[in-house]
Homo-oligomer: A and B are copies of this chain.
Amino acid sequence: MARRTGRRPGNPDTREAILDAARAAFAERGFDAASIRAIAATAGVDPALVHHYFGSKDQLFLAAMQAPVDPRELLPKVLAGDRDGLGERLVRMFLGVWDSPAGTAGVALLRSAVSNEWTARLLREFLTTQVLRRVLDHLDVAPAELPLRGSLVASQLIGLAMMRHVIRLEPVASASPETLAATVGPTVQRYLTGDLPV
């Protein structure tokens, strides 16, 4: 078998113990409050080993929740470009992920989040800290409005994934990404930068 490149996989039991401790910490305390030090202590290993196996706290979080993609690799292209096209680019990126093999993992995550409170919390932390925060940081809108704007964007995008990949309601289920970007993009744009009556 070909040797995988990148970080050494390490002892599988130790890795699993770290991931279990990480899942618990991130779900219970949230991404920001969870610490590598505390996760390492729960797993009975040195914090340096956690960094050695998984890298940064962001990377450990993505590994713990089995995220099929790393938003840090995808978002720069969305965030580059004109402000008025942000909504459409975000919808295109989102559909690109969900229409790819990663979408299967996305459906599995949704499935788990719907029936398991811990996965729901991890998904919430993922949306907030890995996706929305990075998008919202780029906006010149009132900081107090950011959480509402972010959760409205999330509601439209998760609903799109639900209709396209889970409930499969036509024509959204098989519409082209272009059609959906053109119709749903303006919604996301309004939630991000439009005047909200609040």
Spell out A's residues near B (CB within 8 Å).
107, 110-111, 113-115, 120, 123-124, 127-128, 147-148, 151-152, 154-160, 162-164, 166-173, 175, 179, 182-184, 186-187, 190-191, 196-198
A-B contact pairs, 9 of them (CB 8 A): A114-B166, A123-B167, A148-B172, A151-B163, A154-B169, A155-B169, A156-B156, A158-B167, A182-B196
Give Cα A113 to B168, complex, Å.
11
Q: A148-B183, A158-B162, A183-B148 are in contact. Are A113 and B198 (CB under 8 A)?
A: no
Q: Could you tell me if A124 and B156 are in contact, using CB atoms closer than 8 angstroms?
A: no
Q: Could you tell me if A124 and B198 are in contact, using CB atoms closer than 8 angstroms?
A: no
Q: Could you tell me if A183 and B166 are in contact, using CB atoms closer than 8 angstroms?
A: no
In the complex, which residues of chain B have a beta carbon less than 8 angstroms from the beta carbon of A167? 113, 120, 123-124, 127, 154, 158
Tell me which of B115, B124, B156, B183 contacts A169 (CB under 8 A): B124
Given contacts A113-B167, A187-B187, 10 further A-B contacts (CB under 8 A): A110-B114, A114-B115, A124-B169, A148-B171, A148-B179, A155-B156, A155-B163, A155-B184, A159-B162, A182-B196
Give Cα A37 to B157, complex, Å.
41
Q: Could you tell me if B197 and A183 are in contact, using CB atoms closer than 8 angstroms?
A: yes
Q: A154-B169, A155-B184 are in contact. Are A115 and B120 (CB under 8 A)?
A: no
